[in-house]
Amino acid sequence: MSAELTKFLSWDNLHSFVKGSLPVLLEEAFANRDHVTSTASALVENLNLEFLGSPSVENKEILSARLDLLFLEQGLAHRGIRLSDKAFGVIGDVVTMSDRPPGLTYEDLIFSNPRDAIRVFTSGQLAVEEKLFYEGHMQIEDNFGTMIDILYHLRQQLSDKDNDTPEYPELNEVATLLTENMESMAAFYNIIQPESFAVFSRFHERHPYREGAKGAGGQFSASLPLVDILLMGDQTPVEIRNYWSRTMNYMPKNGAILLQEVITYIDNAGGKGLGELLPNSNQIRRIDSLLRGLRARHYRAVSTHIPEIAINPGITTAGEPTNQFLKTRIKLDHSDR
């Protein structure tokens, strides 16, 4: 067998293992700890990193390798199993190549997770619900992507002289997509049982032993911050903008780049968001109402699936205070009332 073919086979073995065997391995972790540790470590140790360093390898392939390695390592870590030092080093090298934070991120779960072969930590009915959770968020992010394109384009077209226009058809599309997101969220949270969520969401928590990891919480999505800044401009509360600055490195990379671009554009264009440029717009008021509704529905879902968050502000998700984080954002006013 050629060395070149071996390079590909070793990575194919990893991908197949994570897709097919990892969920079962996680269920058995406590019964055969030594066997699990040696099997998983050997799989990683035998990988050839020269393949990823080749100029012909695209970034998406590096992100795919990162995803599978962190699924393997973080899944086992949350079951109390640490891979060999050599395997730990190999995974660290791939994390460095990816130029993304250590530990599993929201970007890994929702943006890098291949839609035709979604990675999960669980098996059986649990896997059905876990997959639905990821698919639901993927659809929501797709809709937000369209909304952001619309709002950014409109903001670039408007000036203070344009605010007498009675209606912008594209804002109706934004409202429709927000309504779809509310319905999608309600649908998948109604199917996913709190007991199931408790099982698979523990794997999303902060990596136990990779320094600098934050976890894979949806609070690190760049989508709602982009909608907020486009609508509110410099009326966005300072503490929220400061939060974005502190956590931007943990957001999906493309989203973080766009968020910084939009912030710079808004600041250089007088600081006004669409809410201030269109102070009499019933469309903006409707969008504002839908955003509040979306965030309130998300808070209710989180409170149902993680009940302690509703009563204890000290509980954290992905390393940040959750109770106050969610409640503060429900109150944001995106219109110039």
Domain range 124-330, CATH class: mainly alpha
**Residue 5 has what pLDDT?**
32
* Residue 222, pLDDT above cutoff 70: yes
Residues 245 and 89: their CA atoms lie apart, in Å, by 30
* Residue 322, pLDDT above cutoff 60: no
Residues 176 and 169: their CA atoms lie apart, in Å, by 11
State pLDDT tens for residues 57-111.
778 888 999 999 999 999 999 999 999 999 999 999 999 999 999 999 999 999 9
Question: HSE on the CB side for 164, CA within 13 Å?
Answer: 1
**3-state class of 70 per DSSP?**
helix
State pLDDT tens for residues 140-186.
999 999 999 999 999 999 876 666 667 899 999 999 999 999 999 98
Residues 155 and 160: their CA atoms lie apart, in Å, by 11
116-125, 211-220, 302-311: which has the highest mean pLDDT?
116-125
- Return the closest-CA partner of residue 132 out of 200, 76, 225: 200
Instruction: List the chain domain ranges.
Output: 3-99, 124-330
Read off the tokens for 28.
């058995």
**Residue 294 has what pLDDT?**
92
- In this structure, the chain runs to a length of 337
Asked whether the whole model's pTM tops 0.85, one would answer yes
**Residue 336 has what pLDDT?**
58
Q: For helices 194-201 and 282-305, give the axis angle rounded to 10 degrees.
A: 80
- Which of residues 9 and 291 earns the better pLDDT score? 291
Residues 89 and 221: their CA atoms lie apart, in Å, by 28
* Residue 280, pLDDT above cutoff 80: yes
CA angle 46, 121, 203 (to 5 degrees): 100
Q: Name every residue whose Cβ is closer than 8 Å to that of residue 5 and which is 6 or more positions away in sequence.
A: none
Reported confidence tier of residue 241, pLDDT bands at 50, 70, 90: very high
